[in-house]
Amino acid sequence: MGAPGDLQSHAPKIIKSAEGVNITDLEGHSTVDAVGGLWCVNLGYSNDVVKEAIAKQLYDLPYYSAFAGTSNPAAIEASYAVREFFEADGMTRVFFTSGGSDSVETALRLARQYHRLRGEPTRTKFLSLKKGYHGTHFGGASVNGNNRFRINYEPLLPGCFHLPSPYTYRNPFHETDPAQLAQNIAAAFEDEIAFQGANTIAAFIMEPIQGAGGVIVPDASFMGLMREICDRHGILLISDEVITGFGRTGDWSGARHWGVQPDMMTTAKGITSGYFPVGACLVGDKVAEVFEKDESGEAGIFHGYTYSAHPVGSAAVVACLAETTRLDLKTNAAARGTQLYEGVKKLAEKHDIIGDIRGGHGLMTGIELVSDKVAKTPMDMATMKKIHEATYQAGAMVRLGMHNILMSPPLTISEAEVDTILSALDAGFSAA
């Protein structure tokens, strides 16, 4: 995620230790980690319950394969824990992976196979949203909606088509009202389905709140509109919850935040709080039953990873979900997320370079910086880097996504630590 030449001329910050929500670099400088590792360290860095569960499992059974024919106790326990966590979302089966990209790849493959088993093998295409991020495997990159993750790796998977993002600050309809923009995208979805033919489309994948694309929060009606259109046309709805799962939005899943039940979910990150690389693709009964009740002999899922259902990862999942629930992380995410969002809105009264602020739904906040507010000219990279460094020196690590500042701190963060982020940002913007 960077140019090799740049890395040679600008050494990365070396993070050598962490405690609570703070990270410390090689020079001994400590800051609040407003990035949460990479939208993942939901429990903060000091959760001993998860660390001990990982250590113990290494001694009981450090590895065994979960390909057909074998499993392990930790994986069985983890699958029940994940299933229970997402029961309200209608998820009933769990397919473990090693991360988010793997989970997306799994969902896309299962979607195609589901339609084949149902006798509709022509349903192979995928629709998604511009500005969406679904990882870096070829399938995920093909449904990705950001040019920079695609262009150098083309040609990508054929049969992938993109709808406009629910991004009120910039969109092809010049529509600033989120509810109307949701209607416009729904109309574009219908139009694309009519053009492609519903019987060629396997699935529609979306993030409930777009993360890496700049924290783009849709209107509350948006995901429900997409659900209704998918249902009417026999298209599976995949909710990519790699960031939004496990409490980040202020609810246990992004889909639940919008009152929608998807057909499949893709998860990772918060499933272990980043302590061990694990992901999971979840499916509901509608999809599971087509596989489980198959009589054609074609329901073998010839897909899986060496580290799928890894016992150590599974032990991390069980401990992490127990801690996530015990600490009721979603409630703190909602309260601290509102504090961060409102605080950034206050900063915008002082700093003219703030063009758009997105968030207010849990601990995901995006700030789009511009050099000219009227023309909405994206801020240049040199200034972005200057702001980033000044913010870091003033006490908060934030993340740059082009000319956006992206924030997703641990869900355990305190009120005082959010204030530290806000004052560091104030110093950062003043340095622009």
Give least dist CB 87 to ligand PLP, A: 22
Q: How distant, in Å, are the alpha carbons of 113, 142, 164, 344, 407 from that of 127?
A: 16, 10, 11, 34, 27
Give least dist CB 197 to ligand PLP, A: 28
Is the peptide bond prior to 155 cis by the omega test (within 30 degrees of 0)? yes
Give least dist CB 238 to ligand PLP, A: 10
Per-residue interface string for the shown chain with ligand PLP, residues 91-130, x marking contact by CB under 6 A: --------xxx--x--------------------------
Q: In the 8-state DSSP scheme, what is residue 215?
A: -
Q: Which is nearer to ligand PLP, 104 or 387 (CB)?
A: 104
Q: In the 8-state DSSP scheme, what is residue 128?
A: E
Give least dist CB 120 to ligand PLP, A: 26
> 15: which residues sit within 8 A by CB, 6+ positions away?
23, 24, 25
- When binding is defined by CB under 6 A, the residue of 115, 123, 131, 134 that contacts ligand PLP is 134
Q: Does 247 bind ligand PLP (CB under 6 A)?
A: no
- When binding is defined by CB under 6 A, the residue of 41, 129, 242, 282 that contacts ligand PLP is 242
Closest residue to ligand PLP in the complex (CB): 100
Question: Per the structure block, which two tokens stand in for 374?
Answer: 């009227």
- When binding is defined by CB under 6 A, the residue of 78, 201, 212, 405 that contacts ligand PLP is 212
Q: Which is nearer to ligand PLP, 211 or 284 (CB)?
A: 211
Question: Regarding beta strands 22-25 and 15-19, do their DSSP bridges make them parallel or antiparallel, or are they unpaired?
Answer: antiparallel
In this structure, the number of other CB atoms found within 10 A of the CB of residue 137 comes to 18
Q: Does 135 bind ligand PLP (CB under 6 A)?
A: yes
**Number of residues that make up the chain:** 432
Q: Does 168 bind ligand PLP (CB under 6 A)?
A: no
Q: Does 323 bind ligand PLP (CB under 6 A)?
A: no
Q: Which is nearer to ligand PLP, 79 or 101 (CB)?
A: 101
Give least dist CB 243 to ligand PLP, A: 4
Cα angle 159, 160, 164; round to 5: 145
Q: Which is nearer to ligand PLP, 175 or 240 (CB)?
A: 240
Q: Does 384 bind ligand PLP (CB under 6 A)?
A: no
Q: In the 8-state DSSP scheme, what is residue 121?
A: T
Give least dist CB 207 to ligand PLP, A: 5
Q: Which is nearer to ligand PLP, 81 or 206 (CB)?
A: 206
Helix/strand/coil for 66? coil
Q: Which is nearer to ligand PLP, 250 or 279 (CB)?
A: 279
Q: Does 207 bind ligand PLP (CB under 6 A)?
A: yes
In this structure, the number of other CB atoms found within 10 A of the CB of residue 376 comes to 13
Separation CA 171–CA 214 (nearest Å) = 14
Give least dist CB 140 to ligand PLP, A: 6
Q: How distant, in Å, are the alpha carbons of 17, 220, 396 from that of 407?
A: 20, 21, 10
Q: Which is nearer to ligand PLP, 254 or 311 (CB)?
A: 254
Separation CA 276–CA 295 (nearest Å) = 38
Start-to-end CA distance of the chain, whole Å, equals 24
Which residues are registered as beta bridge partners of 239?
A: 206, 265
Residues of this chain that interact with ligand PLP (CB under 6 A) are 99-101, 104, 133-135, 207, 211-212, 240, 242-243, 268
